[in-house]
Structure 1
Amino acid sequence: MISAFANTWKVAELRERIIYMLVMIVIVRLGVHITLPGIDASVVDQYMKEQAAKGGSDNGMLDTMATIFSGGGLQQLGLFALGIMPYISASILMQLMSAVMPKLAKLSREDGGRQKINQYTRFITIIIALVQGGLLANQLSTNPGSLPFFNGIEAVGAVVPNPGFSFIAIFTLTVVTGTLLLMWIGDQMTENGIGNGTSMIITVNIISALPASLALLWKSLISGGTPAGAAFVVFLFAFLIFVIAATISITQAQRRIAIQYAKRVVGRKQYGGQTQYLPLKLNYANVMPIIFATAILGIPTVIISQLFPTASWGLTLSSILAGNSPWFYVIAGVMIFFFSYFWVATMFQPSEIAENLKRSGGYIPGVRPGEPTAKFLDFTMTRLTFAGAVFLTIIFALPFVVSQMPLLFGENPLDQAITQFFGGTSLLIMVGVILDIMRQVETQLLQRNYDGFLRQGKLKGAVDRRNKQLAARSSNNMIYLLLVVAVFFLLGVVALILEN
């Protein structure tokens, strides 16, 4: 495996793709820290420092979801405050509409249909970003303290020194532009980098919270000098390795249905007769049920905080759905089961698969073609979905369980900023993206007869000569990108010197 990582730099194309991806990641992280126009950056910075001194906020799942999709841009009111969430929402909406609307389903199967659906997705993204950006601007102008991420910020100062229509218009236009820029960067990373660009941006946003989480863990359990706390940190790292290994295993688990094709004789050649396999993933819905459940449960909390901030029943309901309450995980677990079956019922079409098998002369041994095959596939996927829903529920509840473990030896519960890496949406997204990148890199290595991560290839001298020739060809675009990063780095150093 170590040699596989070393070989990635020997392949000119892979090396350029990796460098391009790293440059785009730097640009994404820079955009998070560029304050939006009309915002007093000193007030936001002071508020963030006070929250960090307290040991984090108590928003629970809301902070986790904001970190995943905006990378801290929402809490810092940066250029990428909305993050990639409007595009994710539009993509999910188009997927669901394609599954239930015959015209869109037919369009997705036509030549050039996917390009048309991508255009519709981008139009919907702009609409969602305009609505979210306008609401955020209005709330910052009138009552910023009602936002979950800025509770009590009025005591620090005015977030918007000059509120008004001009601020709302400029703020909304800028934040929508930031979302579109982030969407374009994701497309460029997909085309010129490695893996899916949008998923990579989300993964980078998640990993960006890791240093602060480690510092908070050190402050919570080790800096106090408690031997039990230090031993618990060792246990947490061992448990994290176990959880990651289990998540990888279950994510890749699948039920392989044997498909037998009938023999056909055309002229002097015989076709068919071989056995292939139809893979059915254990976790077919992936992370979507968790995203649906947390998004829906977060809506009542936001509405209550804005419309009924002082009502007793509203405070009680908000505490139940706060993301750090046991009832929240009970309700979310039920919703995860529902959305797991809903997603599979919407996206998995056993009748269509059975019809395609029948047309191509394929059949499942022991099962009649046509309707019996569709029923068999539906029954099999139903059982797999139940196991996948149980897995998603356990993964979703793990951060809360880990946060309560310090109570066993008299310590305070851990902040969710620390435990988010032990499960939930963060872990599933990171595992999926890293596995996808490793598969693509391994494919590139094996195509060039290099050793892969798990499989072995043959290293040939001709391959070395070809890669040396490719490496000799200078890439002007890569040089320009590195110059841009160098300029941004120098500007950051100058700003840091002036600030001090």
Structure 2
Amino acid sequence: MATRADKIGANLDLTKIGQATELKKRIWFTIGALIVFRLLSFIPLPGVDPTLMAELYQSQAQGGVLDIFNTFSGGSLERMSLIALGVMPYITASIVVQMASALSPTLAAIKKEGESGRKKLNQYTRYGAVALAIVQGYAMAAGLEAQSLSSGVSAVVDPGMMFRIGAVISLVGGTLFLMWIGEQITSRGIGNGISLIIMAGIVAQSPRHLAQLFEQGRTGQMSGLTIAIIAIGLFALVLFICFMEMAQRRILVQYPKRQTKQGVMQADRSHLPLKVNTANVIPPIFASSLLLMPLTITQLAGQRAAGESAWGDFIIQLNTWLQHGSPLYMALYGVGIIFFCFFYVSVVFNPEETADNLKKQGGFVPGIRPGKNTATYLDYVLTRITVIGAAYLTLICLVPEYFIARAGIPFYVGGTSLLIVVNVTIDTVTQIQSHLLAHQYADLIKKSKLKGGPRRR
């Protein structure tokens, strides 16, 4: 028999957002924070000419791996704005800290301390993000000077050490400010702050990329049939992503019989849901950031050493091999996605802990003995569905990249960008529904108190 809570969850309507005052405040705060992020992307670094910088980017970096970086940062890189590095240093630092916490006994012990341990690891992540931002910022400033000299377009007004120091300070400050905005969105907004910033950058680039696509159709570079096929493919890809993100493997959990008020012995049953894609959108983001970090440094700084030494020529050749859509790039990207799928799942889901919790609550999986056998069974099932999830993510991210590299489709319609946008949208809608459900529960409790009135003894 359906309970009142079940009916509320089933009849949850997003049109009732206007009645939830707290939720409206959170949504407006999130929108305001994302507007600040977009405004910052148009503020250039001190000493950089924005007009000449756009011309330099079009002639030197467009179509390469920096185009991916530029998409994730919402076009900040091509304008060389204060937030040109985006949140990628923070993401890379979080990868390093999570891997270290899985390998180092000291960090693993800190992680088990609960909330205080989480705060310590977050602080280590911030320190790592600052260090990476300094390295990437200096390489970006030096590479910008080198590109200006080699191309004859001097986007830097006054090259020299003072420009590099100012650029590094500005870029590090921009990254730290984005990290702070992301944390504020998570705590005071609707959650998923860092993911929302990345999604906002991708969505902000969509009008220009779609305009480029239609311009190719207008000029005859791409046929109308090809554009129609791309649109149908995108629609099918979105449906497939939504289907896979909602897919679950439900493990039946049974609890011992309990006596009810009527004196009937009744056994409770529930399900332990395991998502097919437990890692969500984390593996593609992690794999992208690990590839972008060294490639950004070599592609920008390598221009400075080109032709001066064999090392400089090797860096240029390495960038050619790792161009967006090249076989080596796609192979490393696929391996990175698969690795981070299994790594992230092993970090966020502990079969032993889940089995112990079920045992303490008296629950068991039918046909499996509680304790160690249950943990082994959960690990077996999770490994199998993670294989499917990793294959799904690799397919979504690599197949469109192959066609993009061959057909010249704008990067926005790539699998990674689409996956991030769809996943973050689903997570955001889920967060909003959770706030609405809490609001409706509060209203239900308030009405029940009013109807009941004060009790008399």
Q: TM-score, normalised by structure 2?
A: 0.82
- Superposition pairs for residues 265-414 of structure 1, below 5 Å? 273-298=267-292, 301=295, 305=299, 306=301, 309=306, 317-403=318-404, 413-414=407-408
**Structure-to-structure mapping, 1:412-491, within 5 angstroms:** 413-415=407-409, 418-424=410-416, 426-449=417-440
The answer on 1:12 being equivalent to 2:8 is no
Give unmatched runs, 5+ long, in structure 2: 1-9, 449-457
1:124 aligns with 2:116: no
Partners of 2:381 and 2:17 lie apart in 1 by 40
- Equivalent of residue 52 in structure 2, options 27, 31, 43: 43
Letter in 1 for 2:434: T
| Conserved 8 A contact 2:321-2:329 | yes
Q: Which structure 1 segments of 5+ residues have no match?
A: 146-152, 406-412, 451-457, 464-500
**Matching residue of 1:97:** 100
Distance 1:181 1:271 in 2: 58
* Matched-pair contact (CA < 8 Å) for 1:71–1:204: yes
Cα 1:342–1:272 change in 2 (3 A) is farther
**TM-fit CA distance, 1:327:** 4.5
Find the aligned partners of 1:32 and 1:58 in 2 and give their Cα distance: 20
Decide whether aligned partners of structure 1 residues 290 and 303 sit closer, same or farther in structure 2, where only a CA change above 3 A counts: same
1:80 aligns to 2:71 (yes or no): no
With normalisation by structure 1, the TM-score equals 0.75
CA distance, structure 2, for counterparts of residue 162 and residue 99 of structure 1:
46
Post-superposition offset of 1:387: 0.8
- After superposition, give the CA deviation of every residue in 1:183-224 in whole Å (9 maximum; x if it has no partner): 111122222222322111111001011011011101112333
Aligned-pair CA distance for 1:270: 11
**Deviations 1:414-453 (CA, angstroms, capped at 9, x unpaired):** 24xx2432412x1222122111111122233334449xxx
Contact 2:91 2:286 in 1 (8 A): no
Question: 2:86, 2:298 → 1: CA distance?
Answer: 24
Is contact 1:47-1:156 (8 Å) kept? no
Counterpart of 1:242 in structure 2 is 236
For 1:129 and 1:272, locate their aligned partners in 2 and report how far apart those are by CA, in whole Å. 59
Superposed displacement of residue 157, structure 1: 2.2
TM superposition shift of 1:264: 7.1
Amino acid at match of 1:15: K
Q: 1:42 to 1:300 in 2, by over 3 A?
A: closer
Structure 1 position 313, deviation (Å): 6.5
With over 3 angstroms needed to count, the CA separation of the structure-2 counterparts of 1:236 and 1:4, relative to structure 1, is farther
Task: Confirm or deny: 8 A CA contact 2:111 2:121 kept in the other structure.
Answer: yes
Q: Distance in 2 between matches of 1:461 and 1:376?
A: 44
Secondary structure (helix, strand or coil) at the match of 2:249 reads strand
The CA deviation at 1:343 is 3.4
Shift of the alpha carbon at 1:32? 0.7
Call closer, same or farther: CA 1:343–1:188 in 2, change over 3 Å.
closer
1:272-298 CA distance string (max 9 Å, x none): 942232222211223333344444545
Letter paired with 2:203: I
Moved more, 238-247 or 304-313: 304-313
1:76-225 matches, within 5 Å, as: 76-109=79-112, 110-141=114-145, 143-144=146-147, 154-224=150-220
In 1, distance between residues paired with 2:141 and 2:265?
64
With over 3 angstroms needed to count, the CA separation of the structure-2 counterparts of 1:369 and 1:330, relative to structure 1, is same
Aligned residues of 2:140 and 2:297 also touching (Cα < 8 A) = no
**Shift, 1:48, TM fit:** 4.5
What secondary structure sits across from 2:158 in the alignment? Answer: coil
Query: After the TM superposition, which residues 16-31 of structure 1 pair with which residues of structure 2 at under 5 Å, given as runs?
Result: 16-31=25-40
Aligned AA for 1:183?
Answer: M
2: CA distance between counterparts of 1:279 and 1:107? 28
Distance 1:41 1:98, change over 3 A: same
Cα distance in 1 for residues equivalent to 2:75 and 2:276:
33
Whether the 8 Å CA contact 1:256–1:277 is kept in 2: the answer is yes
**CA contact 1:43–1:156 (8 Å) conserved in 2:** no
Contact 1:263 1:270 in 2 (8 A): no
Determine the C-alpha separation between the residues in 1 that align with 2:108 and 2:396.
Answer: 32
Answer yes or no: is the 8 Å Cα contact 2:241–2:422 preserved in 1: yes
- Do the aligned residues in 2 keep the contact of 1:46 with 1:156 (CA within 8 Å)? no
Deviation (angstroms), 1:43? 1.6
Structure 2 SS opposite 1:261: strand
Once residues 297 and 449 of structure 1 are traced to their aligned partners in structure 2, the CA distance between those partners, rounded to angstroms, is 45
What are the superposed Cα offsets for residues 166-193 of structure 1, whole Å, 9 maximum, x if unpaired?
A: 2222221121111111111112222222
